[in-house]
Structure 1
Amino acid sequence: MELARLDLNLLLVFHHLLREKRVSAVATVLGMSQPAVSSALGRLRSSLGDELFLRTQRGMAPTPYALQLAEPVAAALDGLQQALNVRASFAPTTSERRFTLAMTDVGEMYFLPVLMGALAQSAPGVTLNVVAVTSVSLKDDMASGRTDLALGLLPQLQAGFFQQALFRQPYVCLMREGHPLATAAALSLNDFAAASHVRVIAAGTGHGQVDEALERQGLQRRIRLTVPHYVALGDVLGHSDLIATVPERFAQRVTAPFALTTRPLPLTMDGSAIHQFWHARLHKDPGHQWLRELVAQCFGDSTD
């Protein structure tokens, strides 16, 4: 068929249906009503002479013809978007753009309070959507533009992505203020090993290096509790004699609210380098450049 006879907006709906698999999700992403998305799909089916998507229990499944169209349509839309972004401008004071950021629960506690305060001052209409870095589709989501920026210690993004170092931080020992070890001028290795520990897995991040470093030094800890993330750690430590090895800037966020204190680790361990990561497709996007600069201003360490 001739391209002039096709409403190109329908291809945008088609592209997002391939990604989202659900009419409701596409409506949210494109700011349309669900009936409008269904109507657009109906018009596209009529124009192309194919069902394109079939309803299943797992959402809208593409037909073979839709799968054939997927890559060239995505490439065409991406090329058009990049061409438009080259000369596009971004005015933070009036923009209502939504950015999707990937981070850990530690990142949410550390980054979001400061970042939301900065947005309130300089870009009150800009909104954020936060997703977990543990998603198995993080790389694909960033390549497709579903996720704009990732923050943290993320070894899976070291290759194939732009990155900027924000800061480096050591690991510290975290415990409640009334802990028997809290009054010690310095923790001994024996006291550290004999204490009851919380181990944080933090899947999808590089913080597992804590366990690896301790194992390399032959240190056997008494692990009394293992948790998948950091979010409940403040409460747990505040109501027990457990201790935890955590990133320093996480400790800074939870010491006062949960009456905790820190001590230097009694062993040598590399710290963690926190970066922001983004895909090449957004490298020259003015809005994205502004966001990266804001993150760097709020959290960047001049020594990095």
Structure 2
Amino acid sequence: MELKDIDLNLLVVFNQLLAERKVSKVAENLGLGQPAVSNALARLRKLFDDELFTRTASGMQPTPFAEQLAESVGYALGMIHGAVNARNTFDPRTSKRSFTVGMTDIGEIYFLPPLMQRIEEVAPSVTISTVRNTATNLKDAMESGQVDLAVGLLPQLKAGFFQRRLFEQNYVCMFRKGHRLDQKKIRLQDFFGADHVAIVSAGTGHGQVDEILDNHSPQRQVKLKVPHFVAVGHILQSTDLVATVPERLAERMAAPFELRYLAHPVKLPKIAINMFWHAKFHKDPANQWLRSLVFDLHADASPGAKG
């Protein structure tokens, strides 16, 4: 196959299908009718002699060959886009750009208040949306530019991505003021003698901590399980339950919910929180601005970016 045989617009449709998995959404994004997208897919199938995408209950799923093409096509389109827009600049004072950032509910609690305060000061017309890092298509969404940055513990973002360390943090034990654990130091037997709320945050790095605590002898007495951290402050405020949470989340929740937190009596691994972006947007002025803003607000030190 020669490059002269390939219509670049077909590859744009292919890249969008990888990200969206729905013909209707791709049509909306590209300003096309659904028949035009379907026709483009038919031409792609003929060109590559492969089905490329199959219809399922959860959307258009790529074939193994499509997944093989995905990174190369996405990277090539990004390079072309970067080249033809090389003269673009970004002025935060006048921009109406909308950014999308991948983060957990912890990230929303910790990162968003200072970030939005700073954006109000320096970029009043810029808007932010968040999506969950646990989304199965996060990698594709970042490759296509639908998600600009992701923040958290994301070992799945490797080839094709840059990352920069923001900080490391410990886990702490948190409870309401006046709780019987509200002493200078928590003894191991007192921790395991208390009733616990466990946050079962599937697809995040916090699962390793739950595994350590669940395999400990003695085991903690879990009275409540919830799928996210956002309700923990309300729960702890009005019960005798205790929770194991990241320290920076505890910092944000302590005062509003009249809570206390102390060093954890169990030896738990530290969490490394990084900022990730796709290599296609490494030199994009708008992406660079947002990365700098997040880093300046939240980084403990100044480690360099790495791919």
Match of 2:181 in 1: 181
Match of 1:282 in 2: 281
Does the aligned pair in 2 maintain the 1:98–1:128 contact within 8 Å?
yes
Q: What aligned pairs does 1:1-304 form with structure 2 within 5 A after superposition?
A: 16=16, 19-22=19-22, 25-26=25-26, 29=29, 37=33, 77-158=77-158, 160-182=160-182, 184-214=183-213, 218-302=217-301
Does the aligned pair in 2 maintain the 1:154–1:204 contact within 8 Å?
no
TM-score normalized by structure 1?
A: 0.79
Mark the CA change 1:102 to 1:202 in structure 2 (over 3 Å): closer, same or farther: same
TM-score normalized by structure 2?
A: 0.79
**Partner amino acid for 2:120?**
A
Mark the CA change 1:177 to 1:27 in structure 2 (over 3 Å): closer, same or farther: farther
- How many Å apart are 1:156 and its aligned residue? 2.3
Provide structure 2 residue ranges, at least 5 long, that are not aligned to the other structure.
none
Mark the CA change 1:171 to 1:21 in structure 2 (over 3 Å): closer, same or farther: closer
Give the % identical residues. 48
**Partner amino acid for 1:291?**
L
- How many Å apart are 1:18 and its aligned residue? 6.0
**Partner amino acid for 2:108?**
E
Mark the CA change 1:14 to 1:271 in structure 2 (over 3 Å): closer, same or farther: closer
Cα deviation per residue 1:141-172 (whole Å; 9 max; x = unaligned)? 22232222110122322565211110111111
**Partner amino acid for 1:246?**
V
Tell me, what secondary structure is at the counterpart of 1:82?
helix
Mark the CA change 1:39 to 1:209 in structure 2 (over 3 Å): closer, same or farther: closer
- How many Å apart are 1:192 and its aligned residue? 0.4
- How many Å apart are 1:83 and its aligned residue? 0.9
Tell me, what secondary structure is at the counterpart of 1:235?
helix
Residue-pair matches, total: 296
Cα deviation per residue 1:19-39 (whole Å; 9 max; x = unaligned)? 435566346645x5xxx6458
**Partner amino acid for 2:234?**
D
Tell me, what secondary structure is at the counterpart of 1:237?
helix
Q: CA RMSD in A?
A: 3.9
C-alpha distance in 2 between matches for 1:230 and 1:238: 14
C-alpha distance in 2 between matches for 1:39 and 1:251: 52
Tell me, what secondary structure is at the counterpart of 1:257?
helix
Q: More deviation in 199-208 or 184-193?
A: 199-208
- How many Å apart are 1:128 and its aligned residue? 1.7
C-alpha distance in 1 between matches for 2:40 and 2:201: 44
- How many Å apart are 1:232 and its aligned residue? 1.0
